[in-house]
Amino acid sequence: MSEPTAKKHSLNCLNWLNFSAADVATGLGPFLAVYLASNLHWNPSQIGIAIAAMSIATVVAQSPAGWLCDVSTKKRLGVVVVSVAIALAGFCMLFFPNFYAVIACQIAIGIAAAFFAPVLIALAMGIAGRNAFDSTISKNQTYNHAGNVASAVLIGLLGKFTHNAGIFYGLAIFCAMSIIFSLSIKEEDIDHQAASSANESENKQAKKETSFLDMLKNRGFLILLFSAVLFHFANAAMLPLVGQELGKTRASNASLYMSACIVLAQLVMVPMSFWSGKWASKGRKKLLMIAFIILPVRGVLYTLGHSAAYLVSIQILDGVAGGIFSVVSILVVSDLFCGSGKDNFAQGILAAAIGLGASLSNVISGYIVKASGFDFGFYVLSALALVAFLVFWLAMPETVSCADDDRRPEAGVNNFNLA
């Protein structure tokens, strides 16, 4: 019996943890934008600040969270603690709906949520090992996007029948599920050394030689980080802006329409995530280029019509791009830091870059829309998305060969110092 087969129970629980964590790790996102616009009548700049507060907190906490995942052997307990914290912060927003309380709760959720991305990746590596990592991450992300579908349907329905207040109860339900699935993973099935992507024979040398400065010399990693910041600057605000448009004109059904947007995108992401794990073995870069070029097209399309059905249908493109990026970006970082003992720290830095782009997006786009309208805001975001595509296309090297043991760098980090 192979090792991944022997750990089948824990791998299944990890899949379901990814399912339940889909909503928990991102907070209420666009549903919060709908709630603030429809129930509390906040303006776009205030909503942008509230959403960005979580993203900024995640940016600050993300790299330390990744480092903690590399050194900690209490990963399951960590999931329990942050899930409880997120549920409590959600209820605080419901019962204390003033500006400063909401911002404080969003910051708390952002700090707690920073733990999810690196710990889920660490558990995948620690349970499945490197040989099965690509397929495990692909399956995890498939469950993650299916979880987004389920949470969007549940929270959308709760919002519809409770005038949006039920979204906080939906968040608490998925927090409870995350706790259950985390504790269902068998501790003895987790190899915590493998979870940090450190090879047993190289562990001491890799940890000694691979410093933070060495990581910053990794050309491929720096290009990925810069492209990810631009990509998520352009991407993060698009759906909340659509939610605000729907909230202003169709307040009674805004949560239901937002649910439809998320469900359609996530339904597309489910097969895209599954197939991306298979396609990625033939090359990471060309797959990510597809995700990058879709985003500016999507932004422009939002300006060409304003009916609810039209806006919802555009989310098909979000599903294609999101499904690819969610799997392949993780694999690229794993390629670059194979055997270094710094994999989760690097994944945390990538997640921080994504959070930085998202936080800047929500703050700045809120002010742009307030001053110049929704269409102009989408044009600005589309232009930035096009820049992200060009940077990635022209500068990013292919990384798939770095995953091969025979070509693994001596110290575990491929610097890609290409001319």
Cα 235 to Cα 317: distance, rounded to the nearest angstrom: 12
Query: Phi/psi zone of residue 6: left (φ > 0), alpha (ψ -120 to 50 degrees), beta?
Result: alpha
What integer pLDDT is reported at residue 52 of this predicted model? 79
pLDDT average, residue stretch 231-257: 76
Terminal CA-CA length for the chain: 46
Q: How many CB atoms lie within 10 A of CB 5?
A: 9
Q: What's the rounded mean pLDDT across residues 295-312?
A: 89
pLDDT in the model for residue 370: 80
Burial of 409 (0-12, 13-18, 19+ CB in 10 A): middle
Dihedral-angle region of residue 133 (phi above 0 means left; psi in -120 to 50 means alpha; beta otherwise):
alpha
Mean pLDDT in the chain? 82
How far apart are alpha carbons 241 and 373 in whole angstroms? Answer: 10
Report d(CA 23, CA 170) in Å as an integer: 9
Domain residue ranges of the chain, discontinuous segments joined by +: 3-193+205-407
pLDDT 10s digits, 145-197 = 888 888 878 887 888 788 888 889 989 999 999 999 999 999 888 887 776 65
Give CA–CA dist 382/289, Å, rounded.
15
Token pair in block for residue 294: 């879709």
What is the per-residue pLDDT for 160? 76
Question: Quick check: 406 pLDDT over 60?
Answer: no
pLDDT band at residue 207 under the 50/70/90 scheme:
very low
Task: Determine what percent of the chain is predicted with pLDDT higher than 70.
Answer: 87
Q: Which of 22-31, 35-44, 146-155, 166-175 is the most confident on average? A: 166-175
Determine the Cα–Cα distance for residues 116 and 78; give it in Å rounded to an integer. 9
CATH class of 3-193+205-407: mainly alpha
- 3-state secondary structure labels for all residues of the chain: CCHHHHCHHHHHHHHHHHHHHHHHCCCCHHHHHHHHHHCCCCCHHHHHHHHHHHHHHHHHHHHHHHHHHHHCCCHHHHHHHHHHHHHHHHHHHHHCCCHHHHHHHHHHHHHHHCCHHHHHHHHHHHHHCCCCHHHHHHHHHHHHHHHHHHHHHHHHHHHHHCCCCCHHHHHHHHHHHHHHHHHHCCHHHCCHHHHCCCCCCCHHHHHHHCCHHHHHCCHHHHHHHHHHHHHHHHHHCHHHHHHHHHHHHCHHHHHHHHHHHHHHHHHHHHHHHHHHHHHHHHCCHHHHHHHHHHHHHHHHHCCCCCCHHHHHHCHHHHHHHHHHHHHHHHHHHHHHCCCCCCHHHHHHHHHHHHHHHHHHHHHHHHHHHHHHCHHHHHHHHHHHHHHHHHHHHHHCCCCHHHHCHHHCCCCCCCCCCCC
Residue located via tokens 């055997």 = 339
Instruction: In whole angstroms, give the CA distance from residue 60 to residue 110.
Output: 9
Instruction: List CB contacts of 196: < 8 A, sequence separation 6 or more.
Output: 69, 70, 71, 122, 125, 341, 342, 343, 344
Compute the half-sphere exposure of residue 29: CA atoms within 13 Å on the CB side of its CA.
26
Q: 0.85 exceeded by the pTM?
A: no
Report d(CA 368, CA 44) in Å as an integer: 9
Q: Residue holding tokens 């609810």? A: 308
- Bigger pLDDT: 66 vs 340: 66
Angle at 229 between CA 122 and CA 222, to 5 degrees: 70
Quick: pLDDT tens for 49-64: 888 788 788 888 888 8
Q: Is residue 1 pLDDT above 50, yes or no? A: no
pLDDT of residue 248: 65
What lies within 8 Å, CB to CB, of 43 at 6+ separation is: 370
